[in-house]
Structure 1
């Protein structure tokens, strides 16, 4: 999973529209990751086609995105993978000092 896709799904712990996702990702990453709208909407379109997110319009007619159960399953697997990477990196960190 790309870092962009990871952070987009991570942002969808509650329903958000595209701009809300962009701002939330920026906040989560401490400003390190600033996603462009084309990147976000392209990724959201792919995630929607893959069934990872659901799409609906809110009362203000904005398109709102929410993580679907398959997206939650993907995130659980990715979080497990990242935890393994962190454990292995921490165990080997001294060798690179």
Structure 2
């Protein structure tokens, strides 16, 4: 079964939305994600700009500023909802792990 486009978020998607609670341009956003994750998550320019376009089309982010080729973005209410839903999903996964792995249940 195909996954709904934003039914779950990849790490790159999650961190882009998390960062866009503040205004960022694309190149700075790539650096910010790398910094936030101590280099664990890297986003290349092709991936970043495809995700930004998809997020914008879905109404999850909005463009806030254009200065030449430099475009800045911020998260919208739709994006915040998706981010919050993903956080709840990840928290449930972690809870399941604790109960069944650390708790020894089978």
TM-score w.r.t. structure 1 length?
0.88
Give the secondary structure class of the aligned counterpart of 1:56: strand
Post-superposition, which runs of at least 4 consecutive aligned residues in structure 1 deviate over 6 A?
none
Note the residue ranges of structure 1 that are not aligned, 5 or more in a row.
none
Which structure features the higher share of helix residues? 1
Write the distance in 1 (CA, Å) between the matches of 2:14 and 2:98. 21
Give the secondary structure class of the aligned counterpart of 2:38: coil
Q: Tell me how far 1:20 sits from its aligned partner.
A: 1.3
Q: Tell me how far 1:56 sits from its aligned partner.
A: 2.5
**Root mean square deviation of aligned Cα:** 1.3
Correspondence for 1:9: 17
TM-score w.r.t. structure 2 length?
0.81
Q: Tell me how far 1:74 sits from its aligned partner.
A: 0.8
Write the distance in 2 (CA, Å) between the matches of 1:69 and 1:76. 10
Is 1:46 matched up with 2:54? yes
Count the aligned residue pairs.
94
